[in-house]
Structure 1
Amino acid sequence: MVDQCLVNWIYNTMMRDVMRIIRIPSATAYTIWATVIDIFHDHQLHHAMYLEAEYRSLYQGDLSITDYTAKLKELADALRDLGQPVLEPSYVLNMLHGLNGKYRHTISTITSKQPPHTLLSACSFLLLEELYETQYGKLAAHHTMVAQVLQVSHAAPAPAATIVSQ
C-alpha cells in the first residue's frame, strides 16, 4: 500500500511526457525512481555539451555588466550541477573574452594582475568601469550641449543699428 502511494505520487508530480516514457505496469517506486535516474544520467553529458557551447560563446552585446555576469554565472552553475564545474580562472577568462568592445581596454588590466583577479574582483572592476562609462557619457553630453549653446550665442548677428535722421 505504501509503495503504491509513492508510485502514484511520482507519476502525479512528473510532467506528462516524462510519465509516458517512465510508466511501467506494476512497477515499484524503486523501479520507477531508478528509471528516472537512468534517463537523467543518459542525457546529462549531452546537456552539458550544449551548455558548455552556450557558455563559451556568450557575448555581452548590449547587456549591462550585471546582466552579462549573471547569465555567465547561471550557465556555470548549470554546468556545475551536471558535474562539469567551471574553474575560476577559466570563468574570468571567458568573461573577458565575451566583453563588448567598449571594455576592451580593461582586459589587459585584469589579466596582468598578480595574483590573478578572482571572479568577484574582476566583476567589481568591470562594474566600476561601467559606472565610469555612464558618468563620463553624461558629462560628455552636458559639455556638448554647453558648447552648442555657446556656439549659437556667439554666431548670432549683432542687432542692426538704427539710423536716426535729423
Structure 2
Amino acid sequence: MSSSVSTASSLFAGPDVTLVHDFNIHERVPVVLDQSTASYSTWRQYFSLVFREYLLHGHVDGTVDSSLMVNDEEWMILDTTIIRWFYLTISKDLFHTVEDDDDAYAVWTKLNGLFTDNKLQRQVLLHGEFYGWQQLDSSTDDFCMRLKKLADELRDLGETAGDELLISTLTAGLNEDFGNVASNLTLIPEPTFAKVVAYLKLEERRMKMVRTRATHTALTTGTHRGPVPPQPLMRNATWHGF
C-alpha cells in the first residue's frame, strides 16, 4: 500500500497548500453556476484557469486515483479545498445535487454532467433560442452578450458557432432601428464578432446622440416661437344701407 501511495504522490506535482487554502475563490471565479442561467461555460472556464494556475488539474481530470492519496495530507487538504470552492460557487439547488460526493473529481464530473448530459435535447432547445434570438427593446450590449452565451452553450455540447454564423445570426436579430446600419456591416474589413459588436455599440451611441439633439432642437424651437397671442373678439357690425 505504501508503495502505491508513493507512486501516486510522485505523479502529482501540486502547489504548496498554503498558497491556495485561504484565498478568496470568488475573486477568481466571479460567477455562480445555476441551471436557470447561461453560466456554465463561464464558470468552467474560470475554474479551468485556476486549475492550470495552481497545478490542481490532477484533482479533477482523473489522472490521479484519489483513493491512493488518502494518506497524503497535502493532497487531501487541497482536494477538500477544491470541493469547498465548488460549493461556494454553485446555486443551492446544485449544492443539494452533489453534496454527497466524496472527492473533487466526483463533484467536478457530476457538475459538468448536469450541463452536458441529454445532449440532443439541449441542442434542440439551444438551436431554437440561438437562431430565433431577437433584439427587440434590449440594448446592443445585452443582445450581443446573450447571443454569445448561447453560442458558448452550444460549444459546450461540441457544436462551434464561428464568427460568420454569429454575425449572420446577430444581423438577422437586430431591431428596425439598425436597418441601415446592418447593411454597412459588410464593409468592415475582415469582420469578426467582436469587431461587429464594437461597431454596433458605436452606432447605438451615435443614434442616441442624434435623438437627443433632435429633441433638444424641437424644445428650443417651441420656446423661441413663444405662446400664440389670443385673437381679439370681433364685435357684431351694423350694416347701414344707402
TM-score (norm 1): 0.69
Q: Which one of 122, 128, 132 corresponds to residue 53 of structure 1?
A: 128
Please, which runs of 5 or more residues in structure 2 have no aligned partner? 1-65, 71-75, 88-93, 232-242
Q: Give the letter aligned to residue 124 of structure 1.
A: A
Mapped to 2, the partners of 1:52 and 1:118 lie a distance apart of 21
Contact 2:123 2:157 in 1 (8 A): yes
Question: Contact 2:166–2:193 (CA<8 Å) still a contact in 1?
Answer: yes
Does structure 1 residue 104 correspond to structure 2 residue 179? yes
Tell me if structure 2 keeps the 8 A contact 1:79–1:86: yes
Runs of 4+ deviating beyond 6 Å: 37-40
Q: What is the number of equivalent residue pairs in this alignment? A: 143
Cross-structure match for 2:164: 89
In percent, how many aligned pairs have the same letter? Answer: 26
Partners of 1:148 and 1:38 lie apart in 2 by 64
Structure 1 pair 38–119 and aligned structure 2 pair: CA distance change class (3 A): closer
Q: Distance in 1 between matches of 2:115 and 2:195?
A: 36
Residues 16-27 of structure 1: matches in 2 within 5 Å? 16=96
Aligned with residue 138 of structure 1, among 202, 212, 216: 212
Q: Could you list the runs of 5+ residues in structure 1 that have no partner in the other structure?
A: 159-166
- Could you tell me which amino acid in structure 1 is paired with residue 136 of structure 2? G
Out of 144, 148, 153, the position equivalent to 1:78 is 153
Contact 2:116 2:156 in 1 (8 A): no
Q: Kindly tell me: are residues 17 and 44 of structure 1, through their superposed partners in 2, closer, same or farther at Cα, counting changes over 3 Å?
A: same
Cα RMSD for the two superposed structures: 3.3
Q: Deviations over 1:118-139 (max 9, x none)?
A: 1111111111110011111110
Contact 1:110–1:116 (Cα < 8 Å) also in 2: no
**TM-score normalised by L of structure 2:** 0.49
TM-superposed deviation, 1:151: 2.4
